[in-house]
Amino acid sequence: MTSQNLETNAKNTWCPGCGNFAILNSIKAVLKSIQDEGTPLENVVLVSGIGCHAKIVDYINVNSFYSIHGRATPVAEGIKLANPTLKVIAFAGDGDAYGEGIEHLIFAAKRNIDVTMIIHNNRVYGLTTGQYTPTSPLGFKGRSTPKGSIEPPINPLELMLASGATFLARGFSHGIEQLKKIFKEAINHKGFALVDVLQVCVTFYNMYEYYDKRVYELKDHDAGDYGGALNKIKEWNYHADSKIELGVLYKKAATTFEERLSASKKDAVDIDSNIEKVLAKAV
């Protein structure tokens, strides 16, 4: 098997210092390792929404679907259902996934469909130059909220846990080695996996100094304990001025949507053939 070159000819137009570079470099390293372990990259499909983050699929030489704002999740689900042997990895922004596309995310988690969602959570609309998003803090000053946002943020990881996600983690664009580890574990997880990456937008919301002072890596955390995971997830809440936990927060083995779908198709075939037998006898 020849090794697939991951580079493309697309010109990178992200701002210098953007946290998206850390995600790009980490995922490229993980794709390379997946390939080295024997999975051809033609078995991987990347999906993106619309936003600065979405350009990532232009910068990786792997089959991809550049979708529309808020719709990375259903496109990823459709690809997985059409061909369950594929590994599907979707990239979405916080505006994309936690705003316009939030309902898709809830249902994907509820179904436990086997896709990996990587959320570039810069807590701002980057591409449209600085409006507030569902994870911007109360008081956030941006293009659409010059006097400060009057809404508190949502905690997307708490919402995903309640919705049924079976793998939840948080990474940071100042921690490439940890990002690689988390991405690899998320991609290998069987079921719905979401990685919320604190991806700093240096141009419209530069949080490096703030995060650098507060982040810490989870140690001795039992990711299989729902209650413990919930407590950890609620510790920071995207607003409190507290420590911010990084790492795998929750992980659970569970039947996937595709497995249940395939079993129900088999039942349907059995029912059909039984009906044919009954009808044949009746004639």
Ligand X SMILES: Cc1ncc(C[n+]2csc(CCOP(=O)(O)OP(=O)(O)O)c2C)c(N)n1
18 binds, among ligand SF4, ligand X, Mg ion, none (CB under 5 to 8 A by kind): ligand SF4
116 makes contact with Mg ion (CB under 5 A) = no
230 makes contact with ligand SF4 (CB under 6 A) = no
Cβ-based nearer residue to ligand SF4, 93 or 175: 93
Considering only 20, 35, 122, 135, the residue that binds Mg ion (CB under 5 A) is 122
CA-to-CA distance for 242 and 106, rounded, in angstroms? 27
98 binds, among Mg ion, ligand SF4, ligand X, none (CB under 5 to 8 A by kind): none
93 makes contact with Mg ion (CB under 5 A) = yes
Tell me, what DSSP letter sits at residue 7?
A: -
- Contact, 216 vs 245, CB < 8 A? yes
Considering only 4, 6, 12, 15, the residue that binds ligand SF4 (CB under 6 A) is 15
Considering only 34, 44, 45, 52, the residue that binds ligand SF4 (CB under 6 A) is 52
CA-to-CA distance for 250 and 46, rounded, in angstroms? 24
Site for ligand SF4 in 116-135 (CB under 6 A): 122, 126
- Contact, 95 vs 144, CB < 8 A? no
101 makes contact with Mg ion (CB under 5 A) = no
- Contact, 224 vs 251, CB < 8 A? yes
Sheet (strand 64-66) strand order: 64-66, 44-48, 87-93, 116-120, 193-198, 167-172, 244-251, 215-217
CB of 142 vs Mg ion, minimal distance in Å: 11
20 makes contact with ligand SF4 (CB under 6 A) = yes
- Contact, 135 vs 156, CB < 8 A? yes
Q: Which residues of this protein are in contact with ligand SF4, per CB under 6 A? A: 14-15, 18, 20, 52, 122, 126, 201-204
